[in-house]
A and B are shown apart, each in its own frame.
Chain A
């Protein structure tokens, strides 16, 4: 229209049009007597009601947008999980380098006790228990030996060196009371005592002595009262048996994983430190440093730091030092070189804390799957050159030096940022967020559909019966509708959910019951709608015709009336879907709906409800929230579009 033709052009156009019309007329006349009837498709193009609705629906932009969103959601949620490689409860783990401790080195803080005597002396347990306090007594007094008696037995605790203590059984003391003395009358009462002995007793008493010796035997005097004294004979059966050797030195075997036998440790300690030991005496005399154990000759050599190297057949057999180095796992997997290195390093660090505390060493790596050290086919650990760092830690007064290096460790990858691997990142449990979005969408949409179907089923049946029969049935059902309309849905759902919580029901059972309850509580609206429609429809002619044909009542209701209610029903179902999804997600958000391992959109937002999570992990909850909105909006758009399409009068 806007184009302005010149007169000539217009004439040309008109001529062409007339010619075309003439041609068309001619050709139709030439056709075999074609009569044009009123219902001829060429004359009147009639669209079926369904097609009309579809056409009107397709013209509505918003409805089309909604439909596209819905199709996208459905394809995503129901097809997506088939192609998406991850599950909703698949925990993602990653292997990362973590500074883990490898070994711990410390001075030996407590005496390690070796029991030499393997007899059945019941006092050994007591000795072992009190040994530390005896050593303390020795330290306080500054002496090297201490005699302790337990009951009638005497034990000698002897400090062989700063780090080695020996306990030996000295002998048994037997006390027998042989006489009582009246000090005033100077009368000795006793059986078969020689007069010289009596005189000796009296002379000792006159000097107020505590003990005296007579013919090589010791006697003790005691004065229970002023006028009397008691004479006790002391018989000492001497013995000299080594009972316990305790040491603060640590024995390391030259072979990794082989422990030093206790007997060997005792023998070594005695030979090196005990001046009464036969080997020690022999060494003193010969100037050699060797001892025999189990028929084998071992030699030893002191090193500058006080450590002792022990050789067997000129081969290093064991190493004794003040430091103990163990693998952090407790297994003995460290070789002697490493232990020696750590010992010297720690000694340096003790002197000078600023000493360089890192070094390179060949160490085994942890297998990230099993958590054990990687091993080759021979069962030997595979070694890697790593940079180890030593850190100092003090626990209850004892100092420990930990050495560690970046170790492969399997970690749950929580709150990972979105990446190509995880489109929306991972959540606090290491689950893939996008996978949960897909599965959660499935649950949300499924809940929506099932609930709306239950609602519609109940609503159509009750509304249909009510509208069709009228009278007291109608009144009854409508009052029932009023009653259900009056019951507040959300509180009831919350109460039931807290009962579910009490029973700790399975997630799927909860889901099922939630759908049933939502359906039962929500049918009243649809019943009202169906009844209203049927009330107006049943008065129309086609229903009278249906009755006249003699159709059954149920057929008349469900085949003739209900299909006429379909348009309104479909619209309200579509809108209802949106609101059910909202209700479900709200319940799940409150933690009362579908429970954790099972994902829904609501509980996904709930899992980041703290203020920190809300700030830090927006990439988890905002997309999910937007998805909920989009789905509900789409249902509303489509419902709106359908309403307009079914009933254009409404739109005008």
Chain B
């Protein structure tokens, strides 16, 4: 087991190395005019407040980002710094990338956590019910809802929710982290948290809507598979009450794949919701990176992309390991 984990970990490192190389090459190949233009914009934006000049920005870019070297050398120099945790200063946010990251990451994490929690407590029971009553009205409804959930574009859900809850009912603010008349100086910890929580409702609802379908379907499919297994027939044959058959025998076995994919999605809690956060102007990692990317903030973009790659690899790794841990039938070799 230990050997397996180490092997997978090493493999992940190799994959990360090459994936980042591709991303680095892509960004390295961005037309230099684009980078110079960004530098020009940055210098003109900060010129009044005595910021860096255009030349300084370009030099900084070349030096920090290894643009003056060739692709391979540049990549290694970036990687060496990245490994040391030096991702440079974000141009867009005017602070070290890691500092910006630590400021916004928890917003993303809580949003993801809330969404995942509700997703799990809604989707899994519904999936189980649908599987138990296959071909019934309930089953068709659940199937339909889950397919609709998969098919809904995030931005449309967000717009609809805004129309209903913001424009028509006026319960929430359309975007942002704080209410308009929220004054930080007067707020206690409790009222501040409450205010922020209120702004998390719609984004969380959007995320739940969009992602609930997949889990529901997955649960249903797996439950169906388990219900057709021999041991369920045996359990029924020996006269166990249906409640026990489902609760003790079927559901527990259904949990194996579900726990696996849920475990795999745990690192995803940190990846933020790029579209949702942007649409609701929620100051999370997705929102920050969206404006970094559209604004040509190379240091933060590289940081975000490497972070995302690591999360993906970590998710796969956890899923693989969990698969082996949860299901003793799976033999690791």
B-contacting residues of A (Cβ < 8 Å)? 62, 479, 482-488, 490-492, 494-496, 498-499, 501-503, 578, 582, 585-586, 589-590, 592, 602, 605, 609, 611, 614-615, 618, 621-622, 625, 628-629, 632-633, 635-637, 640, 651-652
Q: Are B143 and A62 in contact (CB under 8 A)?
A: yes
Q: Are B153 and A62 in contact (CB under 8 A)?
A: no
Whole-angstrom distance between the alpha carbons of A483 and B153 in the complex?
27
Is the C-beta of B110 less than 8 angstroms from some C-beta in chain A? no
Number of residue pairs across A and B with beta carbons under 8 Å?
129
- In the assembled complex, how far is the CB of residue A582 from the closest CB belonging to chain B, in whole angstroms? 5
Whole-angstrom distance between the alpha carbons of A628 and B157 in the complex?
12
Q: Are B23 and A633 in contact (CB under 8 A)?
A: no
- In the assembled complex, how far is the CB of residue A576 from the closest CB belonging to chain B, in whole angstroms? 12
Please give, as numbers and ranges, the residues of chain B lying within 8 Å of A490 by CB-CB distance.
274-275
Which residues of chain B in 41-86 are interfacial with respect to chain A, using CB atoms and an 8 Å cutoff?
none
- In the assembled complex, how far is the CB of residue B100 from the closest CB belonging to chain A, in whole angstroms? 16
Whole-angstrom distance between the alpha carbons of A94 and B308 in the complex?
52
Q: Are B167 and A652 in contact (CB under 8 A)?
A: no
Is the C-beta of B313 less than 8 angstroms from some C-beta in chain A? yes
- In the assembled complex, how far is the CB of residue A344 from the closest CB belonging to chain B, in whole angstroms? 54
Which residues of chain B in 270-310 are interfacial with respect to chain A, using CB atoms and an 8 Å cutoff?
274-275, 278, 289-290, 293-296, 301, 304-305, 308-309
Whole-angstrom distance between the alpha carbons of A614 and B304 in the complex?
32
Please give, as numbers and ranges, the residues of chain B lying within 8 Å of A629 by CB-CB distance.
148, 151-153, 156
Please give, as numbers and ranges, the residues of chain A lying within 8 Å of B294 by CB-CB distance.
494, 498, 501, 592
Q: Are B147 and A633 in contact (CB under 8 A)?
A: yes
Q: Are B16 and A586 in contact (CB under 8 A)?
A: no
Please give, as numbers and ranges, the residues of chain A lying within 8 Å of B118 by CB-CB distance.
none
Whole-angstrom distance between the alpha carbons of A490 and B274 in the complex?
8
B151 partner, pick from A488, A503, A633, beta carbons under 8 A:
A633
List the 9 closest A-B pairs by CB distance, nearest first.
A632-B151, A625-B156, A633-B151, A486-B19, A488-B308, A589-B155, A483-B19, A615-B167, A494-B293
User: Given that A483-B19, A586-B155 are known contacts, is A491 also in contact with B304, CB under 8 Å in the complex?
Assistant: yes
A486 partner, pick from B33, B156, B309, beta carbons under 8 A:
B309
Please give, as numbers and ranges, the residues of chain B lying within 8 Å of A488 by CB-CB distance.
305, 308-309, 312
Q: Are B228 and A486 in contact (CB under 8 A)?
A: no
Whole-angstrom distance between the alpha carbons of A640 and B150 in the complex?
13
Is the C-beta of B31 less than 8 angstroms from some C-beta in chain A? yes
User: Given that A578-B151, A611-B167, A629-B152 are known contacts, is A491 also in contact with B305, CB under 8 Å in the complex?
Assistant: yes
Q: Mark B178-222, 1 if CB is under 8 A from A, else 0.
A: 000000000000000000000000000000000000000000000
Please give, as numbers and ranges, the residues of chain A lying within 8 Å of B326 by CB-CB distance.
none
Smallest Cβ-Cβ distance to A632: which chain B residue: B151
Which residues of chain B in 108-144 are interfacial with respect to chain A, using CB atoms and an 8 Å cutoff?
140, 143-144
Q: Are B34 and A482 in contact (CB under 8 A)?
A: no
Supply 29 A–B pairs (Cβ within 8 Å), ascending by A: A479-B15, A482-B15, A483-B15, A483-B19, A483-B22, A486-B16, A487-B309, A488-B309, A490-B274, A491-B293, A491-B304, A491-B305, A494-B290, A495-B293, A495-B301, A498-B293, A502-B34, A582-B151, A585-B155, A586-B153, A589-B153, A589-B155, A622-B160, A625-B153, A629-B148, A633-B148, A635-B151, A636-B150, A652-B228
Please give, as numbers and ranges, the residues of chain B lying within 8 Å of A501 by CB-CB distance.
294
Whole-angstrom distance between the alpha carbons of A635 and B150 in the complex?
11
B15 partner, pick from A486, A589, A609, beta carbons under 8 A:
A486
Please give, as numbers and ranges, the residues of chain A lying within 8 Å of B26 by CB-CB distance.
492, 495-496
Please give, as numbers and ranges, the residues of chain A lying within 8 Å of B31 by CB-CB distance.
499, 502-503
- In the assembled complex, how far is the CB of residue B56 from the closest CB belonging to chain A, in whole angstroms? 22
Q: Are A614 and B154 in contact (CB under 8 A)?
A: no
Whole-angstrom distance between the alpha carbons of A618 and B162 in the complex?
12
Q: Are B163 and A618 in contact (CB under 8 A)?
A: yes
Whole-angstrom distance between the alpha carbons of A590 and B291 in the complex?
12
Q: Are A614 and B309 in contact (CB under 8 A)?
A: no
Given contacts A486-B19, A633-B147, 17 further A-B contacts (CB under 8 A): A62-B143, A62-B144, A62-B147, A487-B22, A488-B305, A491-B293, A495-B301, A498-B293, A499-B31, A502-B296, A503-B31, A586-B153, A592-B294, A629-B148, A629-B156, A633-B148, A637-B147
Whole-angstrom distance between the alpha carbons of A486 and B16 in the complex?
8
Please give, as numbers and ranges, the residues of chain A lying within 8 Å of B301 by CB-CB distance.
491, 495
Please give, as numbers and ranges, the residues of chain B lying within 8 Å of A635 by CB-CB distance.
151
Whole-angstrom distance between the alpha carbons of A491 and B30 in the complex?
15
Is the C-beta of B159 less than 8 angstroms from some C-beta in chain A? yes
- In the assembled complex, how far is the CB of residue A484 from the closest CB belonging to chain B, in whole angstroms? 8
- A62, A498, A501: most-surrounded residue (chain B CB, <10 A): A498
Please give, as numbers and ranges, the residues of chain B lying within 8 Å of A637 by CB-CB distance.
147
Whole-angstrom distance between the alpha carbons of A65 and B167 in the complex?
34
User: Given that A483-B18, A629-B152 are known contacts, is A491 also in contact with B167, CB under 8 Å in the complex?
Assistant: no
Whole-angstrom distance between the alpha carbons of A490 and B305 in the complex?
10
Smallest Cβ-Cβ distance to A628: which chain B residue: B153
- A590, A592, A618: most-surrounded residue (chain B CB, <10 A): A590
B159 partner, pick from A479, A494, A585, A614, beta carbons under 8 A:
A614
Is the C-beta of B37 less than 8 angstroms from some C-beta in chain A? yes
- In the assembled complex, how far is the CB of residue A295 from the closest CB belonging to chain B, in whole angstroms? 72
Smallest Cβ-Cβ distance to B157: which chain A residue: A625
Please give, as numbers and ranges, the residues of chain B lying within 8 Å of A492 by CB-CB distance.
23, 26, 305
User: Given that A487-B309, A494-B294, A582-B153 are known contacts, is A615 also in contact with B23, CB under 8 Å in the complex?
Assistant: no
- In the assembled complex, how far is the CB of residue A61 from the closest CB belonging to chain B, in whole angstroms? 8
- In the assembled complex, how far is the CB of residue B85 from the closest CB belonging to chain A, in whole angstroms? 21
Please give, as numbers and ranges, the residues of chain A lying within 8 Å of B151 by CB-CB distance.
578, 582, 629, 632-633, 635-636
Whole-angstrom distance between the alpha carbons of A106 and B78 in the complex?
74
Please give, as numbers and ranges, the residues of chain A lying within 8 Å of B154 by CB-CB distance.
586
Q: Are B153 and A498 in contact (CB under 8 A)?
A: no
Is the C-beta of B14 less than 8 angstroms from some C-beta in chain A? yes
Whole-angstrom distance between the alpha carbons of A572 and B219 in the complex?
19
Please give, as numbers and ranges, the residues of chain B lying within 8 Å of A640 by CB-CB distance.
147
Whole-angstrom distance between the alpha carbons of A499 and B225 in the complex?
48
Smallest Cβ-Cβ distance to B221: which chain A residue: A650
- B22, B289, B313: most-surrounded residue (chain A CB, <10 A): B22
- A482, A492, A618: most-surrounded residue (chain B CB, <10 A): A482
Smallest Cβ-Cβ distance to A621: which chain B residue: B159
- In the assembled complex, how far is the CB of residue B277 from the closest CB belonging to chain A, in whole angstroms? 12
Is the C-beta of B224 less than 8 angstroms from some C-beta in chain A? yes
Smallest Cβ-Cβ distance to A496: which chain B residue: B26
Smallest Cβ-Cβ distance to B27: which chain A residue: A495
Q: Are A625 and B274 in contact (CB under 8 A)?
A: no
Smallest Cβ-Cβ distance to B312: which chain A residue: A486
A614 partner, pick from B37, B153, B162, B289, beta carbons under 8 A:
B162
Whole-angstrom distance between the alpha carbons of A495 and B130 in the complex?
42
Please give, as numbers and ranges, the residues of chain A lying within 8 Å of B290 by CB-CB distance.
494
Please give, as numbers and ranges, the residues of chain B lying within 8 Å of A625 by CB-CB distance.
153, 156, 159-160
Please give, as numbers and ranges, the residues of chain A lying within 8 Å of B30 by CB-CB distance.
495, 499
- In the assembled complex, how far is the CB of residue A476 from the closest CB belonging to chain B, in whole angstroms? 11
Please give, as numbers and ranges, the residues of chain A lying within 8 Å of B147 by CB-CB distance.
62, 633, 636-637, 640
Whole-angstrom distance between the alpha carbons of A43 and B145 in the complex?
44
Smallest Cβ-Cβ distance to A609: which chain B residue: B159
Whole-angstrom distance between the alpha carbons of A92 and B122 in the complex?
48
Whole-angstrom distance between the alpha carbons of A238 and B166 in the complex?
87
Whole-angstrom distance between the alpha carbons of A632 and B61 in the complex?
43
- In the assembled complex, how far is the CB of residue B102 from the closest CB belonging to chain A, in whole angstroms? 20
Smallest Cβ-Cβ distance to B294: which chain A residue: A498
Is the C-beta of B174 less than 8 angstroms from some C-beta in chain A? yes
Which residues of chain B in 296-333 are interfacial with respect to chain A, using CB atoms and an 8 Å cutoff?
296, 301, 304-305, 308-309, 312-313
- In the assembled complex, how far is the CB of residue B18 from the closest CB belonging to chain A, in whole angstroms? 5
Whole-angstrom distance between the alpha carbons of A256 and B76 in the complex?
84
Q: Are B159 and A491 in contact (CB under 8 A)?
A: no
Whole-angstrom distance between the alpha carbons of A485 and B26 in the complex?
16
Q: Are B156 and A605 in contact (CB under 8 A)?
A: yes
